[in-house]
A and B are shown apart, each in its own frame.
Chain A
Amino acid sequence: MAAHLKKRVYEEFTKVVQQQQEEIATKKLRLTKPSKSAALHIDLCKATSPADALQYLLQFARKPVEAESVEGVVRILLEHYYKENDPSVRLKIASLLGLLSKTAGFSPDCIMDDAINILQNEKSHQVLAQLLDTLLAIGTKLPENQAIQMRLVDVACKHLSDTSHGVRNKCLQLLGNLGSLEKSVTKDGEGLAVRDVQKIIGDYFSDQDPRVRTAAIKAMLQLHERGLKLHQTIYNQACKLLSDDYEQVRSAAVQLIWVVSQLYPESIVPIPSSNEEIRLVDDAFGKICHMVSDGSWVVRVQAAKLLGSMEQVSSHFLEQTLDKKLMSDLRRKRTAHERAKELYSSGEFSSGRKWGDDAPKEEIDTGAVNLIESGACGAFVHGLEDEMYEVRIAAVEALCMLAQSSPSFAEKCLDFLVDMFNDEIEEVRLQSIHTMRKISNNITLREDQLDTVLAVLEDSSRDIREALHELLCCTNVSTKEGIHLALVELLKNLTKYPTDRDSIWKCLKFLGSRHPTLVLPLVPELLSTHPFFDTAEPDMDDPAYIAVLVLIFNAAKTCPTMPALFSDHTFRHYAYLRDSLSHLVPALRLPGRKLVSSAVSPSITPHEDPSHQFLQQSLERVYSLQHLDPQGTQELLELTIRDLQRLGELQSELAGVADFSATYLRCQLLLIKALQEKLWNVAAPLYLKQSDLASAAAKQIMEETYKMEFMYSGVENKQVVIIHHMRLQAKALQLIVTARTTRGVDPLFGMCEKFLQEVDFFQRCFIADLPHLQDSFVDKLLDLMPRLMTSKPVEVVKILQTMLRQSTFLHLPLPEQIHKASATIIEPAGESDNPLRFTSGLVVALDVDATLEHVQDPQNTVKVQVLYPDGQAQMIHPKPADFRNPGPGRHRLITQVYLSHTAWTEPCQVEVRLLLAYNSNSRIPKSPWIEGGEVSPQVETSIEGTIPFSKSVKVYIMPKPARR
Chain B
Amino acid sequence: MPEIRVTPLGAGQDVGRSCILVSIAGKNVMLDCGMHMGFNDDRRFPDFSYITRNGRLTDFLDCVIISHFHLDHCGALPYFSEMVGYDGPIYMTHPTQAICPILLEDYRKIAVDKKGEANFFTSQMIKDCMKKVVAVHLHQTVQVDDELEIKAYYAGHVLGAAMFQIKVGSESVVYTGDYNMTPDRHLGAAWIDKCRPNLLITESTYATTIRDSKRCRERDFLKKVHEAVERGGKVLIPVFALGRAQELCILLETFWERMNLKAPIYFSTGLTEKANHYYKLFITWTNQKIRKTFVQRNMFEFKHIKAFDRAFADNPGPMVVFATPGMLHAGQSLQIFRKWAGNEKNMVIMPGYCVQGTVGHKILSGQRKLEMEGRQVLEVKMQVEYMSFSAHADAKGIMQLVGQAEPESVLLVHGEAKKMEFLKQKIEQEFRVNCYMPANGETVTLPTSPSIPVGISLGLLKREMAQGLLPDAKKPRLLHGTLIMKDSALKELGLVEHQLRFTCRVHLHDPRKEQETAMRVYSHLKSMLKDHCVQHLPDGSVTVESILIQAAAHSEDPGTKVLLVSWTYQDEELGSYLTSLLKKGLPQAPS
Contact = CB atoms under 8 A, between A and B. Distances in A.
Between A160, A208, A325, A458, the greatest number of chain B beta carbons within 10 A of the residue's beta carbon is seen for A458
Nearest to A426: B258
Contact of A207 (B188, B218, B403, B471): B471
Contacts of A191: none
A352 B385 contact: yes
A829 interface: no
A352 B213 contact: no
Contacts of A416: 213, 215
3 tightest Cβ-Cβ pairs between the two chains A and B: A387-B183, A336-B216, A419-B215
Interface string B51-75: 0000000000000000000000000
Nearest to B217: A336
A336 B471 contact: no
Given A324-B210, A324-B213, A455-B226, A353 B287 contact: no
A366 interface: yes
B419 interface: yes
20 contacts: A326-B212, A327-B208, A328-B209, A328-B210, A336-B212, A336-B216, A336-B217, A352-B385, A353-B385, A366-B425, A369-B426, A371-B396, A385-B182, A387-B287, A388-B288, A416-B215, A419-B215, A424-B289, A458-B258, A459-B259
Interface string B285-300: 0011100000000000
Given A385-B213, A455-B226, A460 B257 contact: yes
Nearest to B259: A458
Nearest to A157: B470
Given A369-B426, A419-B219, A324 B191 contact: no
A277 B60 CA distance: 57
A203 B472 contact: yes
Contact of A161 (B219, B419, B470): B470
Contacts of A356: 386
Interface in A419-466: 419-420, 422, 424-425, 452, 455, 458-461
Interface in B96-128: none
Interface string A330-348: 1001011100000000000
Contact of B260 (A160, A327, A496): A496
A50 B497 CA distance: 55
- Between B213, B259, B466, the greatest number of chain A beta carbons within 10 A of the residue's beta carbon is seen for B213
Nearest to B208: A330
A333 to B, nearest CB: 8
B472 A371 contact: no
Q: Which of A353, A416, A420 has the largest number of chain B CB atoms within 10 A?
A: A353
Contact of A355 (B223, B384, B419): B384
B430 A372 contact: yes
A366 B423 CA distance: 10
Interface string B373-417: 000000000011110000000011001100110000000000000
A372 B403 contact: yes
Interface string A29-54: 00000000000000000000000000
Given A458-B259, A496-B260, 17 more contacts: A161-B469, A163-B465, A206-B471, A207-B471, A295-B193, A295-B194, A328-B209, A329-B209, A329-B419, A337-B216, A352-B385, A353-B384, A369-B426, A372-B430, A384-B215, A389-B288, A460-B259
Contacts of B220: 336, 352
Nearest to B468: A161
Contacts of B43: none
Contacts of A906: none
Contacts, number: 133
Interface in A363-401: 366, 369-373, 378, 381, 384-389
A370 B396 CA distance: 9
A160 B470 contact: yes
Nearest to A421: B219
A335 B260 contact: no
A950 interface: no
B555 interface: no
B480 interface: no
B222 interface: yes
Contacts of B217: 336
Contacts of A870: none
A101 B188 CA distance: 50
Contacts of A335: 212-213, 216
B193 A203 contact: no
A896 to B, nearest CB: 18
Find the residue from A295, A371, A389 having the highest chain B CB count within 10 A: A371
Nearest to A366: B422
B224 interface: yes
Interface string B464-494: 0110011111000000000000000000000
Contacts of B399: 371-372
A285 B473 CA distance: 27
Given A388-B288, A422-B222, A328 B213 contact: no
A295 B216 contact: no
B interface SS class? helix
A419 B226 CA distance: 16
Contacts of A324: 210, 212-213, 396
A324 B181 CA distance: 15
Nearest to A452: B219
A245 B193 CA distance: 9
B568 to A, nearest CB: 39
Contacts of A161: 466, 469-470
B244 interface: no
Interface of B: 182-183, 185, 188-189, 191-194, 208-220, 222-224, 226, 254, 257-260, 287-289, 364-366, 383-386, 395-396, 399-400, 403-404, 419, 422, 425-426, 430-431, 462, 465-466, 469-473
A461 B384 contact: no
Interface string A295-338: 10000000000000000000000000000111111100101110
Contact of B383 (A327, A353, A369, A425): A353
Contacts of A713: none
Nearest to B181: A293
Contacts of B223: 452, 455
A366 B395 CA distance: 13
Contacts of B383: 353
A424 B185 CA distance: 8
Contacts of A352: 220, 224, 385
B249 to A, nearest CB: 13
Given A424-B289, A460-B259, A293 B400 contact: yes
Most buried by B among A327, A333, A424: A424
Contacts of A203: 470-473
A326 to B, nearest CB: 5
Nearest to A373: B430
Contact of B208 (A163, A328, A353): A328
Nearest to B405: A295
B493 to A, nearest CB: 27
A423 to B, nearest CB: 8
A389 B293 CA distance: 13
B404 A295 contact: yes
A587 B61 CA distance: 88
B258 A459 contact: yes
Contacts of B366: 355
A780 B484 CA distance: 92
A510 to B, nearest CB: 25
Contacts of B385: 352-353
Contacts of B191: 295
B258 to A, nearest CB: 5
A335 B220 CA distance: 13
A371 B395 CA distance: 7
Select the residue from A203, A328, A352, A372 with max chain B CB neighbours within 10 A.
Answer: A372
Contacts of B224: 352
Contacts of A337: 216
A420 to B, nearest CB: 7
A677 to B, nearest CB: 65
A473 to B, nearest CB: 22
